[in-house]
Amino acid sequence: MNFITQIINGLNAGSIYALVALGYSMVYGIVKLINFAHGDIIMVGAYAVYVVLIMLKLPLWVSVLASMAFCALVGVLIEKLAYSRLLNAGAQRISLLITAIGVSIFLQNLFQLLFSSSAKSVPGFFPEGSVGFGGASVGFGTIITIAATVLVMILLQLLINKTKTGKAMRAVSEDAGAARLMGINTESTIAFTFAIGSALAAVGAVLYMGSYPQITPYMGSMLGLKAFVAAVLGGIGSVPGAMIGGLIMGVAESLTKGYISSNISDAVVFGILIVVLLFKPTGLMGKNVKEKV
């Protein structure tokens, strides 16, 4: 286990954090809500893959697409059933947060009832083998994970910066009221954001299962928390920030596991959060938004 191997392991985990962090970041950017249920969407995506791939024995690409579609649907359903009413009524933030935590607990316990709380193991579906790289061997799984993440990031940047929908998303996150006056359908834009974020979580779930072949109903909570910290570190609301934040988190965690102790790696994650909040609350790439009264 040399230094480069640790870094590569960190980049592997960090790519997954980055994908999940994007979902947090996009939703926070548009409705200013920490969507606690986002971590559990990863779990939903993982179980969707499990059902299609293992139980129905369909090919991998079908299960990935099915999982993405299912997660997008669940994300939109959560937004419509739980959040939209509160968002439209201009409810207090704490009500929104409590609803989000309620949705998160609901999903965890629902899947525990459906699939039992014991871990389900998934056979590794990435091709075996590795290539040498600077004295360390890199598995194909890691290469696929990092490549897939980079590809998704580029597509997302294009979507946000080059398309009309992306423009609408940016407008709503800047000022929802003004966007509505300009003829943008804010409700469908918010729903679309939830759908994209949840579909990204499904991609994250697939990549996660490639590296850690076990799924439980509670897998999403810690993964989601770390991804949220990554989003804050990178600057919440920023797409490249989420990518950089995720990668830094992954590497920091991997180095802690390798050189200090695997027990305190979770503590290091929150140490990072505390340091970021103390010294640069807007994150690495975040914009400093002035508050207007």
Partner 1 sequence: MSKKNKLAPYMKKKLISYLINFLLVVAGFVVINVLTTLGVIDRYIAGILTMVCINIILAVSLNLVTGILGQLVLGHAGFMAVGAYTAALFTIHSGLPLEGFGGAITFLLALVLGGLVAALFSVIIGIPALRLKGDYLAIITLGFGEIIRVLILNLDFTGGALGLRNIPGMTTFNWVYILAALTVYIIYSYMLSRHGRAVLAIREDEIAAEAAGIHTTYYKMAAFVMAAFFAGVAGGLYAHYIGVIAPSKFNFNYSVEILVMVVLGGMGSITGSVIAAAVLTILPEALRAFSDYRMLLYSVVLILMMLFRPGGLLGRSELSIAGLGRWIKRMAQRFAAWLRRRKNGEKAPKKDKKSRKKGEVQ
Nearer to partner 1, 52 or 190 (CB): 190
Q: Which is nearer to partner 1, 113 or 150 (CB)?
A: 113
> Tokens standing for 287?
């914009």
In angstroms, the Cα distances linking 188 to 46, 72, 165, 194, 195 are 26, 13, 10, 10, 10
User: Of 51 and 97, which CB lies nearer to partner 1 in the complex structure?
Assistant: 97
Specify the residue, 79 or 149, whose C-beta has the smaller distance to partner 1: 79
Given its phi and psi angles, is residue 37 left (phi above 0), alpha (psi -120 to 50 degrees) or beta? alpha
Taking every pair of C-alpha atoms in the chain, what is the biggest distance, in angstroms?
Answer: 58
CB 238 within 8 A of CB 285: yes
- What residues are paired with 136 via a beta bridge? 133
**Residue 72: how many CA atoms within 13 Å on its side-chain side?**
14
β partners of residue 214: 121
E-assigned strands of 129-249? 130-133, 136-139, 214-215
Q: Which residues of 249-269 are buried (b: 16+ CB within 10 A; e: fewer)?
A: bbbbbbbbbbeeeeeebeebb
Smaller CB separation from partner 1, 102 or 134: 102
Q: Measured from the CB of residue 245, what is the shortest distance to partner 1 in angstroms?
A: 14
Q: Provide the minimum distance between the beta carbon of 284 and partner 1 in the complex, in angstroms, as a whole number.
A: 16
Pick 55 or 278: Cβ nearer partner 1: 278
Contact residues toward partner 1 (CB under 8 A) are 34, 82, 85-86, 91-99, 101-106, 108-110, 113, 221-222, 225, 228-229, 232, 263-264, 266-267, 269-270, 273-274, 277-278, 281, 291, 293
Q: How far is the CB of 7 from partner 1 (least distance, A)?
A: 25
Structure tokens at 127: 């091709």
* Closest distance of CB 132 from partner 1, Å: 36
Distance CA 51, CA 114 (A): 12
Nearer to partner 1, 17 or 126 (CB): 17
How near is the Cβ of 43 to partner 1 at its closest, in Å? 14
Q: How far is the CB of 114 from partner 1 (least distance, A)?
A: 11
Of residues 73 and 82, the one with the C-beta less far from partner 1: 82
How far apart are CB 33 and partner 1 at their closest, in Å?
Answer: 8
**Among 5, 221, 258, CA closest to 108:** 221
Q: What's the min distance (Å) between Cβ of 86 and partner 1? A: 7
Residue 155 to residues 178, 200, 228, 238, 248, Cα–Cα distance (Å): 27, 11, 21, 15, 21
What the block records as the tokens of 46 is 């993982």
